[in-house]
Structure 1
Amino acid sequence: MSASVHALRTAGREPSIEPLMQLVAPALNSVNEIILARMQSDVSVIPALAGHLISGGGKRLRPMLTLASARLLDYEGTRHHKLSAAVEFIHTATLLHDDVVDGSEQRRGKKAANLIWGNQATVLVGDFLFSRAFELMVEDGSLKVLKILSGASAVIAQGEVDQLQTQRRIDTTEERYLQVITAKTAVLFAAACQIAGVVSERGEEVEAKLESFGRNLGIAFQLVDDAIDYAGNEAEMGKDAGDDFREGKLTLPVILAYKRGDAAAKRFWERAIGSGDGSDDDLAEAIAHMRAADAISDTLERARHYGRLAIDAIADFPAGKAKDALTETVAFAVARGY
């Protein structure tokens, strides 16, 4: 993974998502048309609230992965357009629900929808988008696609509930944490890639490779997100720095800092996270404990490990623009934390 980043920097540029965007641009235009059409409703608050998030600067990463995976397989049909829209609706619905659960104030650099329209409308519009996603899946007509995406939706919901169960549980293990982020983040990345293999009818071995690529990329992506919550800045993140700390989420930087800390550090984490007595003033001390324990840097190293696994998963596919774009997307996802 570091070799991919180094090669790009040697060539005079940082890893970028631009090659992926350029690769799928025409198809993504079709997907965006489907998204805009399917989020409409006679109930005016639904397109207004959904549009606030869907048009709010998101990269459409997950549907782009579906489109790029299809290009990797030289698929020439259009079934994946509706399915890419379904993937984006699933993702957006989970974000709306997350913001209510977490009490978030920002999303993608904008005021969170729940603060504008209220929690009830935000949850119900999330439900509407889930329903639209399932309509699109049924229209495709593939029971296998329906099984993959509906299964992913169920696992995501379980992952979010599991994360609630670990909230402020300072004894949470790294293994449990990985289970949570695999469920709440990586499973949709995996499904987004795998369904391209299904519509391309290339067989289960190809599907498994695409699933592995997406799952490992998703884990790497979430690891970096959890690291930069303590090391990034709000303008880059599009959300408040330290949100995870305030919400008592047991992300890997906290788990490692607690495990490796001395008695004083452990007392700090037990008070600030375990007892819920942490304040904004404690955030600087939390970051200091993490740096002393190499918790942030080691979280990023784990992200690079999963990035390498993602790239390895598509190693056997033919060289070309699609493979290059997907490989650089992994490098971009990991390099956000450098």
Structure 2
Amino acid sequence: MAPPRSHASIPPQVTEALRAVIAEAGITADADLIARILATGVGLGLDDPDRLDLKITSAALSEMRAAFHLFAPYRDVPKVTVFGSARTKPDDELYRQASEVAAALAERGWMVVTGAGPGIMQAAAEGAGADRSLGVSIRLPFEEKPNAVVAAGANNVAMKYFFTRKLMLVKESHGFVCVPGGFGTLDELFELLTLQQTGKAEPMPIVLLDAPGGRFWEGLRDYVEQQLLPAGVISPDDFDRVTLADSVTAAAEEITGFWRNYDSLRWVGKRLVLRLRVEPTDAEVADLNARFGGMLIDGAIEKSGPLTPEREDDDRVDLPRLVMIYDQFQVGSLYRLIRAVNQLDSAPSGQAHAN
């Protein structure tokens, strides 16, 4: 087997020409990143790639541009993505659940993102309404067009590749509702869990919504507890990141309530910083330490103002903070801590939503 080839170097005059093109186009914001994207394209050409590799790269970049353009006007609007089966019929109780939870969240100011297909995706789009729905459809032989609700609002982008579609279904959302479905729905759920377990995505509320009295997700929980956990392939609290619900009200409250007091997090060296809307009292912090001290590697949970790197980046500097040295393997415990922070007496009352 031949050793891998090294990347071909881009001649300096080409780099300068790329910068000139960027300037001539009138691009000033983040010109360094635009230059990097263009240089990567030139580098691909110099690498003598297979044509299929170039087609994949070109299509993926074009799809991401189209999706970014679709989502850009709603950047400051909280969004929830609803996953579920394309095969669910309108007379199914799950269809009604998906429609009603989407409607409930839309009434609270959220937009609903779906895969823009039939079944649960159409139910959620119907519940939210055309003005509150965004669709990221996939071009398939048997599912080629966005459903009528998303199409009516022209809030849809079509994707060729599942990986670009999943990126956009996850990237913009501050919460997720999974309704029973098949391989695609489970793939999307486990991708969410994997991204959060590995630290590639920040904590977000994930609701597994079933019909009243349904046991679809309880069966998954049984499998996790009886198979995955004894095998040692997950941590004991990994499944604590999800909430099982068969009530539309409970599902909507879990999504919005997750952001009642919790705002965001950031790592500063070894320290985890939780940014909050309202500063907890000393007594509340002492109670949090008593309940969650086991998730720390060292020290205690402490109140803090913005740390130096946060001030330098002007990163949410107006918000109070809790700082701790946290064991990153205890992802489920972090979710329990966030929920506890949202339930403090000092936390804002009423229904909150993501920034």
TM-score when normalising by structure 2: 0.26
**Going by fraction, where is strand more abundant, 1 or 2?**
2
Greater relative CO, 1 or 2 (CA 8 Å, sep 6+): 1
Larger Rg: 2
**Going by fraction, where is helix more abundant, 1 or 2?**
1
